[in-house]
């Protein structure tokens, strides 16, 4: 279908006159064929063109305001609409897709993109589906997928305002990774208990998915000992038996690095923690928490000040809480259990609905540190075994709390925590971060730059969307689209997945996506049963 005529080009920007009766929307992909080449354009904005004089505009607008009929001579010559677009790809005669090396000629025809053209962009060839291509607010039946092996180690950044659909995207991504059947691993810290069964009755969660009994691993206070938990699913008339582990970790399993990598401790306080560990061994946390400041001052050889000891004690207490998660003499090694499941390609769901902010931070740090160090050590010492480990993605909700410039910076000094280390070095070891935030402007710039896959949901504030635009490719003209996104709509960038443009995407609604996966698995089971019967 003809959409318009090219009337101006400059660089990779193309302006075309919109044909009468044609409907063109922001974010829409269109094409121009010229001299054996096919140019794919993305509409980014609109501009009306008028050859009317100021006097004519005054007369016509006055008549229109009074409800009088307006007649304009040679209207189609003197007043028309144009669309501003950017060339996002060029397809040569041999079908090769690459960046634009030319521009379409003036007065060439702009046409509607066909499904075959969309498939040439290879948006559907990854193994982690997240949504469908959309033109404006209309959904096109072409999947948008990420290439997990390339995307995961280079980090994923998810940004969006309140109600934009970040949690829904998290569940969709988790469901897609679950259904790779062990190809990739994911760690989720769920402080709202919305991933397992949904956030309210009638919703669906990861437990509803067919592969959950084999590839989901639950860490929760729902269980008191390692084993399996049976979960009833009235929506499906079924139940699942899911591997589970208690939300507990013996404090004797903790090391000073677990605390220092939270980024909460100063240099002298870190030295104190190591001195306590050397002096008291595995019971160092217990002695630090229960000992009186001056008594510890003496037992540690007066190598650290009383004030330093007291401040460090308060911080350790803040992070370990009241003993509900970090317990004494309980014997559980939560981090070790998680690490063993990650190595097997599991989606690990850690529920922390009643944890304090300090407990959440220490737990996330301990788990992330164990995974990163294990992958790092394996690559250096046993590279053949490391190559067989699945890439792992570690979710960090409210990422600005861990990777904000105000957290890691201060007085001109950059402080490290385990998540900043993973952001910088994780890609070398197949360890990626899934950073979710509604305030990307507060993140360290390096984190935004190093997250090569970005899921940009609705962002209402200029500092936030400007941060993303300034540190990402393909977004130079995306400001208007980002500001007009509805809930569940996104602009997706993924260079590791081979995307050559910012893809306008409708993220799957999780319940609909879950039903689709359930139907597909039932159909596959029926086909396998039929094949066995025919043997």
- Please give, one letter per residue, the 3-state secondary structure of 209-233: CCCHHHHEEEEECCCCCCEEEEEEE
- C-alpha to C-alpha distance for 365 and 373, rounded to whole angstroms: 12
Any residues with CB less than 8 A from the CB of 61 and at least 6 apart, and which?
Answer: none
Q: Which two tokens stand for residue 317?
A: 């207490």
Could you report how far apart the first and last alpha carbons of the chain are, in Å?
50
**What percentage of the chain exceeds 70 in pLDDT?**
98
The 3-state secondary structure of 177-194 reads HHCCCCCCEEEEEECCCC
pLDDT digits (tens, 9 = 90+) for 250-263: 999 999 999 999 98
3-state secondary structure of 100: coil
3-state secondary structure of 43: strand
Q: Does residue 163 come out as left (phi exceeding 0), alpha (psi in the -120 to 50 range) or beta?
A: left
Does a structural domain hold residue 531?
no
- C-alpha to C-alpha distance for 409 and 407, rounded to whole angstroms: 6
Cβ–Cβ < 8 Å for 148, 180: yes
Domain edge (last residue) among 105, 121, 137? 121
List 14's β-bridge partners, or say none: 9, 85
169 and 275 share one domain: no
Q: pLDDT at position 409, please?
A: 63
pLDDT digits (tens, 9 = 90+) for 407-437: 776 555 567 889 999 999 999 999 999 999 9
- C-alpha to C-alpha distance for 300 and 285, rounded to whole angstroms: 14
> Locate tokens 């008291």: which residue?
280
pLDDT digits (tens, 9 = 90+) for 37-47: 999 999 999 99
**Angle between the N-to-C axes of helices 357-381 and 334-342, in degrees from 0 to 180, rounded to the nearest 10:** 50
Kindly state the DSSP code that residue 90 receives in the 8-state scheme.
E
Q: pLDDT at position 438, please?
A: 93
106 and 205 share one domain: no
Cβ–Cβ < 8 Å for 207, 231: yes
215 and 94 share one domain: no
- C-alpha to C-alpha distance for 78 and 430, rounded to whole angstroms: 59
Q: pLDDT at position 306, please?
A: 93
Mean of all residue pLDDT scores within the chain: 92
390 and 492 share one domain: yes
Q: pLDDT at position 116, please?
A: 84
Q: pLDDT at position 145, please?
A: 97
pLDDT digits (tens, 9 = 90+) for 163-219: 999 999 999 999 999 999 999 999 999 999 999 999 888 789 999 998 999 999 999
Domain edge (last residue) among 267, 295, 320? 320
28 and 154 share one domain: no
159 and 264 share one domain: no
394 and 483 share one domain: yes
Structure-model confidence comparison of residues 233 and 51, the more confident one = 233
Q: Among 395, 471, 459, 401, which residue's Cα sits nearest to residue 433?
A: 395
**Burial state string for 1-17 with b = 16 or more CB within 10 A and e = fewer than 16:** eebbbbeebeebbbbbb
Q: Among 125, 179, 30, 103, which residue's Cα sits nearest to residue 494?
A: 125
Question: Where is 445: in which H helix or E strand?
Answer: helix 445-450
300 and 213 share one domain: no
346 and 312 share one domain: no
Q: Among 16, 20, 7, which residue's Cα sits nearest to residue 76?
A: 20
438 and 499 share one domain: yes
- C-alpha to C-alpha distance for 88 and 32, rounded to whole angstroms: 12
- Work out the burial of residue 522: count CB atoms within 10 Å of its CB; fewer than 13 is exposed, 13-18 middle, 19 or more buried: exposed
- C-alpha to C-alpha distance for 243 and 340, rounded to whole angstroms: 13
> Locate tokens 């970090």: which residue?
326
Does a structural domain hold residue 164?
yes
The yes-or-no verdict on residue 441 having pLDDT over 90 is yes
Q: Give the pairing of strands 238-246 and 227-233.
A: antiparallel
Does a structural domain hold residue 135?
no
3-state secondary structure of 40: strand
Any residues with CB less than 8 A from the CB of 307 and at least 6 apart, and which?
Answer: none
Query: What would the mean pLDDT of 222-249 be, rounded to a whole number?
Result: 94
Q: Cβ–Cβ contacts within 10 Å for residue 441, how many?
A: 19
Structure-model confidence comparison of residues 524 and 437, the more confident one = 437
Rg (CA), the chain: 28
Angle at 403 (CA atoms; ends 312, 182), nearest 5 degrees: 105
Q: pLDDT at position 58, please?
A: 87
Q: pLDDT at position 535, please?
A: 62
3-state secondary structure of 68: coil
Main-chain phi, psi angles of 452, to 5 degrees: -80, -15
Q: Among 299, 309, 296, which residue's Cα sits nearest to residue 265?
A: 309
Q: Which two tokens stand for residue 447?
A: 């984190």
Q: CATH code at 364?
A: 3.40.50.300
Does a structural domain hold residue 65?
yes
pLDDT digits (tens, 9 = 90+) for 367-418: 999 999 999 999 999 999 999 999 999 999 889 888 887 777 655 556 788 9
pLDDT digits (tens, 9 = 90+) for 292-315: 999 999 999 888 899 999 999 999
242 and 259 share one domain: no
Main-chain phi, psi angles of 456, to 5 degrees: -105, 105
Does a structural domain hold residue 126?
no
- C-alpha to C-alpha distance for 362 and 360, rounded to whole angstroms: 6
Kindly state the DSSP code that residue 486 receives in the 8-state scheme.
P
Main-chain phi, psi angles of 365, to 5 degrees: -65, -45
Q: Cβ–Cβ contacts within 10 Å for residue 255, how many?
A: 17
Q: Which two tokens stand for residue 156?
A: 């994923």
Q: Which range of residues forms the domain containing residue 281? A: 251-320
Does a structural domain hold residue 405?
yes
> Locate tokens 């390692």: which residue?
226
Does a structural domain hold residue 459?
yes
- C-alpha to C-alpha distance for 455 and 494, rounded to whole angstroms: 9
272 and 242 share one domain: no
pLDDT digits (tens, 9 = 90+) for 477-496: 889 899 889 999 999 999 99
Q: pLDDT at position 203, please?
A: 86
- C-alpha to C-alpha distance for 409 and 339, rounded to whole angstroms: 30
Does a structural domain hold residue 179?
yes
- C-alpha to C-alpha distance for 428 and 422, rounded to whole angstroms: 9
- C-alpha to C-alpha distance for 237 and 209, rounded to whole angstroms: 13
Q: Give the pairing of strands 453-456 and 238-246.
A: unpaired
Q: pLDDT at position 413, please?
A: 55
The yes-or-no verdict on residue 533 having pLDDT over 80 is no
> What's the structural domain count of the chain?
3
């Amino acid at each position: 279908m003809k959409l318009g005529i090219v009337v101006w080009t400059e660089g990779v920007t193309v302006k075309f006159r919109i044909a009468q009766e044609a409907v063109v929307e922001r974010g829409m992909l269109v094409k121009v064929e010229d001299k054996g080449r096919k140019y794919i354009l993305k509409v980014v904005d609109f501009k009306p063109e008028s050859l009317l004089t100021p006097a004519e505009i005054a007369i016509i607008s006055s008549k229109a305001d009074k409800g009088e009929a307006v007649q304009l001579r040679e209207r189609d010559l003197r007043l028309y609409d144009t669309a501003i677009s950017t060339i996002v790809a060029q397809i040569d005669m041999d079908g090769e897709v690459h960046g634009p090396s030319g521009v379409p000629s003036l007065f060439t025809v702009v046409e509607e993109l066909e499904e075959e053209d969309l498939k040439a962009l290879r948006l559907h060839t990854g193994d982690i589906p997240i949504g469908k291509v959309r033109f404006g607010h209309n959904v096109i039946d072409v999947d948008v997928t990420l290439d997990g092996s390339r995307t995961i180690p280079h980090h994923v950044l998810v940004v969006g305002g309140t109600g934009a659909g970040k949690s829904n995207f998290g569940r969709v991504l988790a469901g897609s990774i679950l259904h790779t059947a062990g190809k990739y691993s994911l760690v989720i810290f769920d402080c709202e208990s919305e991933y397992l069964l949904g956030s309210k009755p009638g919703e669906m969660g990861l437990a509803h998915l067919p592969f959950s009994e084999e590839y989901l691993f639950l860490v929760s206070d729902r269980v008191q000992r390692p084993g399996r938990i049976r979960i009833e699913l009235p929506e499906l008339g079924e139940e699942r038996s899911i591997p589970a582990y208690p939300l507990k970790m013996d404090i004797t399993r903790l090391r000073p690095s677990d605390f220092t990598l939270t980024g909460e401790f100063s240099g002298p306080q870190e030295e104190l923690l190591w001195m306590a560990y050397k002096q008291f061994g595995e019971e160092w946390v217990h002695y630090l928490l229960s000992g009186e400041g001056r008594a510890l001052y003496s037992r540690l050889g007066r190598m650290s000040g009383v004030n330093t000891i007291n401040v460090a004690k308060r911080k350790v207490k803040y992070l370990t809480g009241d003993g509900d998660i970090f317990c004494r003499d309980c014997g559980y090694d939560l981090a070790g259990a998680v690490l063993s499941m990650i190595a097997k390609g599991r989606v690990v769901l850690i529920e922390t609905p009643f944890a304090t902010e300090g407990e959440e931070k220490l737990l996330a740090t301990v788990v992330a540190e164990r995974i990163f160090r294990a992958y790092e050590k394996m690559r250096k010492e046993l590279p053949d075994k490391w190559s067989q480990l699945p890439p792992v993605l570690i979710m960090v909700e409210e990422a600005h709390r861990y990777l904000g410039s105000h957290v890691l910076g201060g007085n001109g000094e950059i402080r490290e925590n385990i998540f900043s280390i993973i952001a910088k070095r994780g890609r070398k070891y197949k360890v990626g971060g899934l950073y979710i935030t509604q305030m990307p402007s507060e993140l360290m710039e390096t984190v935004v730059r190093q997250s090569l896959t970005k899921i940009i949901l609705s962002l209402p504030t200029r500092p936030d969307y400007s941060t993303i635009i300034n540190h990402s490719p393909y977004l130079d003209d995306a400001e208007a689209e980002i500001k007009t996104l509805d809930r569940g709509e996104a602009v997706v960038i993924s260079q590791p997945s081979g995307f050559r443009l910012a893809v306008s995407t409708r993220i799957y609604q999780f319940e609909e996506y879950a039903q689709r996966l359930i139907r597909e698995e039932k159909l596959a089971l029926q086909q396998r049963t039929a094949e066995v019967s025919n043997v």
